[in-house]
Structure formats: structure tokens, C-alpha cells
């Protein structure tokens, strides 16, 4: 039973109270030989205090239940409503802040992607331009090379022609000096041609 368990909580208090009650009853030598005033029903005050007490209790109950306790509960409810309202406001502010952060992140990512894209395009364009320039340069160099080669070949050809002439004239002069007879141009020409071809020049 629960009342019994409650009473088990306070065995010392009960025993002490009992000891006190016992002590008060075990002092007959000192105490006056009269009964407990609480049980003295010869005076009307014992009963009248209960009647007045009932009236006071009822009045107190009505004042508490109709005025005082609703006053407390109204303040407590007001506070609970204010707290929950403030909490809702804080939650909404947090949601707004979260959305702002999200938006900023998105914008940053987008800007970064755009910048990357622009960089890539610029690099690509620069590469293309460089390649075109290099091609033009190459073409020019090649042309110059070909021109130079042609010049060299022409110079060489003219030099070779001059060499044959020089060789023929020189050979004719040498023969004329040595022999005093001008050589047969036909034979001389053939000899020079074979000599030159033997050296791989003609």
C-alpha cells in the first residue's frame, strides 16, 4: 500500500515524534494534572474553531481557485507562449540564414565555373593564335629556304657553266702555248666534258 511506503520514508521522524509524545506523557510529576486541552469539549471553543476553520478554508479555497491560481497560471502561460513564439522566430531566422548561405555557395560555385570556362577559352584561343603564327612563320621560312636553295642551285649552275668555259679557255691557252697550235675545239670540248663528269661536276 502506498501510504505505508510513504510512512516507511520517515520512520525516524515518526519514532522521534512518538518519543516526544511519550516524554510529554511521562512527565506527570512536573506536568499539571489536567487532560489535553484538545479533548476538552466542555468549552464551546473546541467546536467553534472547527466551524470558523471551515468557513476560513472555504473562503480561502474560493479566493485561491478563482483569483490567485489563475493569476499564476496566466503568467506562466504568457511566458510559455512568449518562449515558443521567440523559438519559432529564431527557427525562421535560422532557416533564412541557411538559405542565404546556400545561395551564396551556389553563386560562388557558378562564378568559379564561369571563370574556369573563360580561362579555358582564352588559353584555347591563345594556343590557336600561336599555332597560326607558327604556321605562317614556318611557311615563310620554308619559302625563304626554297628561294635560297633555288638561288644556290642557279648560282651553282652558272658557276658550273663558267667553270666549263674557263676550263676550255684555259686548256686551249695551255695547249696553244705548249704546242703553238690551237686545239680542235670539238675534241677539247669532249675531253673537258669527260674530265668534268669524271669528277662529278658537270
Residues within the interface to another protein (CB under 8 A): 1-3, 6, 10, 13, 16-21, 23-24, 27, 30-32, 34, 36-39, 43-50, 52-54, 56-57, 59-61, 63-65, 68-69, 71-73, 75-76, 78-79, 82
In the complex, the smallest distance separating the C-beta of residue 53 from another protein, rounded to whole angstroms, is 6
| CB environment 10-26: b (16+ within 10 A), e (fewer) | eeeeeeeeeeeeeeeee
Cell of 171: 686548256
How would you class 202 by CB atoms within 10 Å of its CB: exposed for 0-12, middle for 13-18, buried for 19 or more? middle
CA 119 vs. chain centroid, Å, equals 21
DSSP for residue 43: S
Are residues 171 and 188 in contact, defined by beta-carbon separation less than 8 angstroms?
Answer: yes
Considering beta carbons, is residue 50 or 153 the nearer one to another protein?
50
In the complex, the smallest distance separating the C-beta of residue 49 from another protein, rounded to whole angstroms, is 4
Considering beta carbons, is residue 52 or 152 the nearer one to another protein?
52
Look at residues 74, 71, 94 and name the one whose alpha carbon lies nearest to residue 82: 74
Considering beta carbons, is residue 84 or 197 the nearer one to another protein?
84
Residues 6+ apart with CB under 8 A from 87: none
In the complex, the smallest distance separating the C-beta of residue 84 from another protein, rounded to whole angstroms, is 13
Considering beta carbons, is residue 53 or 100 the nearer one to another protein?
53
Angle (CA) 123 127 130, round 5°? 135
Rg (CA), the chain: 68
In the complex, the smallest distance separating the C-beta of residue 93 from another protein, rounded to whole angstroms, is 20
Cell of 142: 620554308
In the complex, the smallest distance separating the C-beta of residue 91 from another protein, rounded to whole angstroms, is 20
Considering beta carbons, is residue 61 or 137 the nearer one to another protein?
61
Considering beta carbons, is residue 46 or 165 the nearer one to another protein?
46
In the complex, the smallest distance separating the C-beta of residue 114 from another protein, rounded to whole angstroms, is 51
Amino acid at each position: 500500500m502506498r501510504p505505508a511506503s510513504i510512512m516507511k520514508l520517515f520512520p525516524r521522524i515518526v519514532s522521534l515524534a512518538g518519543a516526544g509524545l511519550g516524554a510529554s506523557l511521562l512527565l506527570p510529576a512536573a506536568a499539571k494534572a489536567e487532560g489535553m486541552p484538545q479533548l476538552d469539549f466542555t468549552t464551546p471553543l473546541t467546536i467553534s474553531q472547527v466551524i470558523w476553520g471551515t468557513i476560513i478554508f472555504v473562503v480561502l479555497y474560493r479566493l485561491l481557485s478563482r483569483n490567485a491560481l489563475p493569476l499564476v497560471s496566466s503568467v506562466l502561460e504568457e511566458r510559455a507562449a512568449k518562449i515558443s513564439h521567440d523559438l519559432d522566430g529564431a527557427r525562421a531566422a535560422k532557416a533564412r540564414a541557411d538559405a542565404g548561405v546556400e545561395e551564396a555557395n551556389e553563386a560562388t560555385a557558378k562564378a568559379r565555373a564561369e571563370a574556369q570556362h573563360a580561362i579555358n577559352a582564352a588559353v584555347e584561343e591563345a594556343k590557336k593564335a600561336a599555332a597560326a603564327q607558327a604556321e605562317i612563320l614556318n611557311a615563310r621560312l620554308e619559302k625563304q629556304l626554297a628561294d635560297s636553295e633555288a638561288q644556290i642551285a642557279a648560282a651553282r649552275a652558272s658557276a658550273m657553266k663558267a667553270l666549263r668555259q674557263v676550263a676550255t679557255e684555259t686548256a686551249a691557252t695551255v695547249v696553244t702555248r705548249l704546242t703553238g697550235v690551237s686545239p680542235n675545239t670539238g675534241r677539247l670540248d669532249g675531253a673537258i666534258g669527260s674530265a668534268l663528269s669524271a669528277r662529278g661536276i658537270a
